[in-house]
Structures are given as C-alpha cells and as structure tokens.
A and B are shown apart, each in its own frame.
Chain A
Amino acid sequence: MNDKIIEVTHLAKRFGAFEAVRDVNFTVYKGDVFGFLGPNGAGKSTTIRCMLSLITPSNGEVKLFGKPLAAHRSEVLRKVGSIIEKPDFYKYLSAERNLELFSRVSGGPTSKKEIHKMLDYVGLKGRERDKVAGFSHGMKQRLGIAQTLIHDPELIVLDEPTTGLDPQGIIDIRNLILQLRTEHNKTVILSSHILSEIEIIANRMVIINKGNSIIEGEVANLLNEQELIANLEVDDVLHATTIITDHFPSAQVVSSKGQFLQVSTDRELVPQMVQALAAKNIKLYSLESKRKLEDYFIKMVKN
C-alpha cells in the first residue's frame, strides 16, 4: 500500500493574471480510490489536466509511478486511463471504431474480439456498430470507461464520471469503480461533486479550494466514521430533546424544526436513543442517518 502512484508537489498554474492552481500537494498510493474534492473553480480540473500533461504547470512537479511526468511522459501515461470532464468521441464513427482508435494510441488491443469484449463489459453489447452520434450521455460515459480500461492501465483518472447519468447509471459506475479496486487492484482517482459518492467509494481524499490543497488523508480518519447526523421525525420535539440531552450527554442536538430533530451522535448510540424515545412514548415516524462528509466539506471550504 505504500507504493506512490502519484506525487503532486507545490503544483501551480497561472493563465495570464489568473491563478487557477496555487499550491496543490497530495500523494496517491497503490490500490487507493482517491477522492478529489473541491467546489466549482477550485482548480480540480486544472490539476487533473496537469497530471495528464494536457496543461503545463507554471510551477511544481507531478510524478507518476515515481517518475517526473515531464521527462517520462509517454512511459508513464501508458499505465494511465482517463476520462476528463466528459468523454468526447468521433461522432461519425461507430463505438467499436472509436475504441479501436483510442486503444491503438494507448498501446492496447485493436482486434474486434478484444474491442467487443470491452464493450460488452461496460454494457454496450449490441451497440458496437452504432455511430456515437446516436448515443445518449450515459452510453458515451460507458464508452468513455471502455476507452479508459481497454489498455489495462494501473491508474484510472475519472473526472466527474457520473455527471448527467441516471440513478442506475450512477450505481453502475460506482460498482464498476469498486470492482476495479477490489478485483483488479487498480488505483483510481475520482473527482466528483457528489460527496456521498466519494464517501462510499473513496478510502483517501484531498480537498482543494481556491487553488490550494487544504486537507488530505484517510476518509475514515478525517470524518471520524463513528459519528453521524441523525434526523428524527417525532410527535413531540421538545420532549424528545429533553430525553436525548438527559440520557445521552455526548450527543448534541444540532437543530429542531417542526417535527424534525437533528442530532450529532456516535452511531452506536442511535439504537439506544430509539429505545429511550419509545420507552417515554415518543412516536418516532422516521429516522434518517447522514454521514458527515457534506458538513465536513463545507466546514473545510469555509475555513
């Protein structure tokens, strides 16, 4: 787990007077699913583009597989598959032809058999000969995943891979990423706006804001996984608040509105809390527990 796949140090990129990236630092290790978080305009895409040599950094260094990208570009990019922002293809060509073209310059297979096998893997069986012009966004995203994987890369960079996908598409992509890590031991960098997605999939993450990396580490450690926010819908909010504060001093009532009560608590206390409310004849209509990445993210970005 200690093999460094990516090392980004003091990365900066200036477009004229505009500093898109000021000082970004992070390390990705072999086998990581690495979450790359930041609000719009934070410098995520510029950083990812620097990592793939699409943009030349103004300062700092990117090392892939222990080698400086600038000096070993072709050698290290052979081991990388990527989708940047959205997958774009030659609309006038078929899915199989597109995949063949990208595979050829990636050092991957170009035989019909291998191409069809990959298209089958991403769920495009039967659409191999259809022109990409007629593909939905979800189908293009699947084709994008296929071109990312066709040359069997060690590192996969996915920039907003679920944007524009329907719920089933999001689940499919999420499962695919988890499968890549668990079954194929791939290292994945995942940039996404959907925090719950990062929370579920990633084991490590970095948050960047205004061109600076502000925190990096294990998702579990950063979020203190034992804690969560419980949203309770009860018939008597005042009574419920009293019970919780009296019986569970470590829990904190964050807010109450109408019949809803928001409590920050250790997850192990939730069942006891439900029992205590029931014992005092408080009617519990619904219980929703929310983990804390969203709050954590907002707190970090605001700070």
Chain B
Amino acid sequence: MLIKSTYNEFIKIAAKPRSYLGLVAITVLVGVILFALKADGMSFISFVTASFEQTLSFEGNILNGNLVAFIVLQMLVIHIPLLVALVTGDLVSGEGAMGTIRMLAAKPISRSTLLMSKFFAGAVYTLLIVIWLGIMAVVVGKWMFGPGDLMVLNSDGLVILQDADINWRYVGGFAVAFLALLTVSSLSICLSCFSDNSIGPIVITMAIIILFTIIGTLDVTIFDNLRPYLFTTHMASWRSYFEDPLPVADINKSVIILLVHNVVLITIALIKFNKKDITS
C-alpha cells in the first residue's frame, strides 16, 4: 500500500503547477547568475583575489565552471528551502484545505502509511530540486566557463583544489545539501499536520529557518549551547567538502544531527496525524 500511495503522491505533485515553480525559479536564478558572471565575472572575482595579488600570482582560467558552480551554490542554498517548502508544506494541509483528506482518511490505508508516502514523495521532489540545481550550476557552469582548479576562501584561508579532485566533492556536497533540504521538507510536512490551510506551514517553515539562522549567526554566548544543534547551522555543511583536508568528523556530526532532526520531525508528524480528528 505504501508504494501505491507514494505513486499517488507523485501523480499529485507532478500535476500541481506550483511543483514546477522551484525548477523554473532555479533555472531563472542560476541563468541570471551565470549570465552576470559571463558578462562581468572577472571584476567580481577581483574583489576576492585583490588581497592576495601582492603575495600570489594567479594564472590560467580562474573564473572556471567549478568556481562558478561554487558561487551559485553559495548564493542559492539559502533560498532553495522556500522552493521545497512551497510544495512539501502543502502535502498534508493542502488536502485538508481541499477536503480530500476526508476522502483519503476513510480509505483502507493507515494514516502512518499515508503520511510516510507523502514524506517519500516530498523527499523525491527535494532530490529532483537538488539534482536540477546541480545540473544548472555544475554542468551548465562547466559548459559555459570550462574546467579549471577551484579557489575557495575559507575561514582558514585560501584553498586551491585541483580540477581532477573536485567532482566527488560536489557529489558529497550535494548529498549533504539534500539532507539539509530534506530536513526542511520534514519540518514543513510536520507543521502541515497541525494545520488545515496550506499557507501557514510554508510561512512558519521559513520563519523558523530565518529565526534559527539569526540565532546561529548572532555572536551571543547565551546561544552557544543551542547553536550546534540547530539544523540551520548544518545547512551550510556542504561547504565542508571543499576544505582540504576533508573535515570528516564535522561532516559526520552534521549528517547525524540532520538525520536526527528528520527522525524527530517525522515521528512528531506521525503521532499528530494519527491522533488528528478530521473534521474539515
């Protein structure tokens, strides 16, 4: 029944116009960034390289596909959660608003199965968003700007990664980014179980992300103990794949914290959805 219900959820997601909003938005946003970098990318890069030019000399294709993809990801990873929440925040509450939850919940499918099918469908949608972002940033970026070594400015300083050593880092980075976005998806599905209107969970999801991000960036000691456990702190962990040497322990810690968030949020959603009286 889980497979059948998940298939149903795919059909619904595929038929909703708002599901394509994310793909269109990524295409337009990445397209604009790529166009801007193509037109005037060197002056943009010179802001970063200027401080090193007295001690280092840069040769070759600095503004290459790898750097462009990295810049795109830096710019967009904060905005992608909204595109994910737009679809996943509507998965349960949207059915409540339409009245179809009444029809579905009276069918011989358990509520847990119904919710898990929505979670899996939301996960696949999130994966598609991440894959499309990868195609637009890495594949199109490399096609437009060509290959080359990647210069990354970290808190520890400038890291230069060779072209041959980069693709696997993107795969790892996108995997962590997917896990971070999956947490956003789980959060919005969880909130969706508490509401019968589809706008509320989307707005609250974004409000939580903004609030946690502010807490994460505020240099105030009162939040020091809380900060490492906020999922937003680990949403940028994909960047760890572009450090040398690879901070394996930090990546593992981020992955575990994001996984725990997913498990907790889905458990809360399951408890709430199973106990919910459907009166709409």
Query: Within 8 Å of chain A (Cβ to Cβ): is B146?
Result: no
CB pair B110 A90 closer than 8 Å: no
How many interface residues does A have (CB within 8 Å)?
Answer: 33
CB pair A104 B4 closer than 8 Å: yes
Chain A residues within 8 Å of B8, by CB: 101, 104-105
- CB 8 Å contact bits of B5-42 with A (1 = contact, 0 = none): 10110011001110000000000000000000000000
CB pair A104 B15 closer than 8 Å: no
CB pair B4 A78 closer than 8 Å: no
Q: Which of A80, A82, A90, A107 contacts B12 (CB 8 A)?
A: A90
Which of chain A's residues 76-106 have a Cβ closer than 8 Å to chain B? 76-78, 80, 82, 84-93, 97, 101-102, 104-106
CB pair A105 B98 closer than 8 Å: no
Which of chain B's residues 165-184 have a Cβ closer than 8 Å to chain A? none
CB pair B99 A88 closer than 8 Å: yes
Which of chain A's residues 1-60 have a Cβ closer than 8 Å to chain B? 15, 49, 52-56
Query: Within 8 Å of chain A (Cβ to Cβ): is B106?
Result: yes
- CB 8 Å contact bits of B246-280 with A (1 = contact, 0 = none): 00000000000000000000000000000101110
Chain B residues within 8 Å of A52, by CB: 105-106
A161 CB to nearest chain B CB (Å) = 14
- CB 8 Å contact bits of A60-87 with B (1 = contact, 0 = none): 0000000000000111111010101111
What 7 A-B pairs are tightest by C-beta distance, nearest first?
A88-B99, A77-B108, A52-B106, A54-B278, A78-B108, A74-B108, A55-B277
Query: Within 8 Å of chain B (Cβ to Cβ): is A147?
Result: yes
CB pair A74 B15 closer than 8 Å: no
Query: Within 8 Å of chain A (Cβ to Cβ): is B158?
Result: no
Max chain A C-beta neighbours (<10 A), residue from B106, B114, B277, B278: B106
Q: Are A56 and B277 also in contact (CB < 8 A) when A88-B102, A105-B8 are?
A: yes
Query: Within 8 Å of chain A (Cβ to Cβ): is B207?
Result: no
Chain B residues within 8 Å of A106, by CB: 107-108
Nearest residue in A to B17 (C-beta to C-beta)? A92
CB pair B275 A89 closer than 8 Å: no
Binding site for A on B (CB under 8 A): 1, 4-5, 7-8, 11-12, 15-17, 98-100, 102-110, 114, 275, 277-279
Q: Which of B1, B15, B16, B108 contacts A73 (CB 8 A)?
A: B108
A76 to B106: give the CA distance in the assembly, Å. 11
Chain B residues within 8 Å of A15, by CB: 277
Given contacts A49-B279, A105-B5, 7 further A-B contacts (CB under 8 A): A76-B108, A77-B108, A78-B108, A87-B103, A88-B100, A104-B4, A105-B104
CB pair B109 A74 closer than 8 Å: yes
CB pair B12 A84 closer than 8 Å: no
CB pair B15 A90 closer than 8 Å: yes
Chain A residues within 8 Å of B15, by CB: 90, 92-93, 97
A253 CB to nearest chain B CB (Å) = 47
B55 CB to nearest chain A CB (Å) = 59
CB pair B107 A105 closer than 8 Å: yes
Chain B residues within 8 Å of A91, by CB: 98
Show 11 residue pairs from A and B whose CB-CB distance is below 8 angstroms, ordered by the A residue: A54-B102, A55-B278, A74-B108, A80-B106, A89-B98, A89-B100, A90-B12, A92-B17, A101-B12, A102-B107, A105-B5
Chain B residues within 8 Å of A93, by CB: 11-12, 15
B47 CB to nearest chain A CB (Å) = 46
Chain B residues within 8 Å of A54, by CB: 102, 105-106, 277-279
Nearest residue in A to B4 (C-beta to C-beta)? A104
B46 CB to nearest chain A CB (Å) = 49
CB pair B16 A92 closer than 8 Å: yes
Chain B residues within 8 Å of A49, by CB: 277-279
A160 CB to nearest chain B CB (Å) = 13
CB pair B99 A73 closer than 8 Å: no
CB pair B107 A77 closer than 8 Å: yes
Chain A residues within 8 Å of B107, by CB: 77, 102, 105-106
CB pair A53 B99 closer than 8 Å: no
A152 CB to nearest chain B CB (Å) = 13
CB pair A82 B106 closer than 8 Å: yes
Chain A residues within 8 Å of B110, by CB: 73-74
Q: Are A147 and B103 also in contact (CB < 8 A) when A91-B98, A93-B12, A104-B7 are?
A: yes
Chain B residues within 8 Å of A90, by CB: 12, 15, 98, 100
A114 to B213: give the CA distance in the assembly, Å. 52
B222 CB to nearest chain A CB (Å) = 37
Chain A residues within 8 Å of B108, by CB: 73-78, 80, 105-107
CB pair A101 B278 closer than 8 Å: no
Q: Are A84 and B109 also in contact (CB < 8 A) when A49-B279, A97-B15 are?
A: no
CB pair A105 B275 closer than 8 Å: no
A86 to B100: give the CA distance in the assembly, Å. 10
Nearest residue in B to A77 (C-beta to C-beta)? B108
Chain B residues within 8 Å of A85, by CB: 102
